[in-house]
Amino acid sequence: MQRKIIHCDCDCFFAAVEMRDNPELRSIPIAIGGSADRRGVIATCNYMAREFGVRSAMSTAHALKLCPHLRVVSGNMAKYREVSQQVMNIFLEYTEIIEPLSLDEAFIDVTGSQHLQGSATLIADEIRRRVKEEVGISISAGVAPNKFLAKVASDWNKPDGIYVVLPNQVDAFVLTLPVKKISGVGEKTAEKLKKIGVETCQDLRAKSLAELVEGFGAFGKRLFDLSRGVDERPVKVSRIRKSISVEHTYPQDLADLESCIAQLPVLMEELDLRYTKLKEARAITGVVVKVKFFDFVQTTAEHTVTYPDIAHFRQLLIDAFNRGLRPVRLIGVGYRLADEGKDQPLQLSLLGDY
């Protein structure tokens, strides 16, 4: 049976919820994030702020330079989770096959749904309408025969839009796609592809499977398939948590290695507390330390270990710090977890017959 996948993506979720609840914010550039004087980072922003170049993951200080009249809101995660659950409940009325990706997007499989004569397009439209009427925010949706195409399509008519890729339109739709639209193709991979004359999926199709595997390893097979619109991945109802971690961004840069090491006891205490709150007992298979330097360059160091202690984290922190030898703005510590145990469900986000 031909799959019918909908990728639903919230339009600037956190900002949308704040604008819904506070009319004063609806006509000005706003962002959700930490304060500039505490090394805050932007989580998301509305479309007016984006016109000034403000983007998620940008430092709040830099965002304010780009848009001096930007209103920065601290945010309320409890409220956002509650809103997300409201939207999830709407999805569940159409299918139970839902794969959350984050708080603001998810895949839903409506292949066997009997709602609206089984039309994925009509279901997506009705979901969008109900979310707007019942929850008060907008979502964008992509409808396609597989997850790759649905995710790309959901971004086509943002915000508050829908785009449908029919099975007989797949080839034409994929041909003109920039390779940057392929999940997993970041700046470095895109640059590597450009060096061999590949900028679109049509260019990619000119390369043989052997060439791509030789140049990109296992990812080469995925590039080969996706450039042809082939994606056999099912929508997964739940996932296994592979790691658990905590991190701190410090108000003032940590000037030297000793200052960084002094933070480990607090970080490890928080990590162990989070680990004990896991719903299932999961064996630890390794430890990892992340360091982000004052210039935003970051590095990670990890080690396989079954019974970790602070000495393991201390050595990894030393290794990571020595790669930069400059002031540090963020330190993170984490455990790698074994695959055993039950799947860990993720919090569902707002989402967006052929």
Check whether 353 is labelled as a binding-site residue. Answer: no
Other beta carbons within 10 angstroms of residue 99's beta carbon come to 21
Q: Residues 51, 82, 99, 105: which is the catalytic one? A: 105
d(C-alpha 58, C-alpha 36), whole Å: 11
Nearest C-alpha neighbor of 44 from the set 83, 82, 14: 14
Check whether 155 is labelled as a binding-site residue. Answer: no
Which residue shows structure tokens 């030789």?
A: 214
105 is an active site residue: yes
Other beta carbons within 10 angstroms of residue 256's beta carbon come to 12
Backbone angles phi, psi at 304, to 5 degrees: -80, 125
d(C-alpha 288, C-alpha 137), whole Å: 38
CA 320 to chain CA centroid, Å, is 25
Binding-site residues from annotation for Mg(2+): 9, 104
Active site residues: 105
Residue ranges for the known binding site are 9, 104
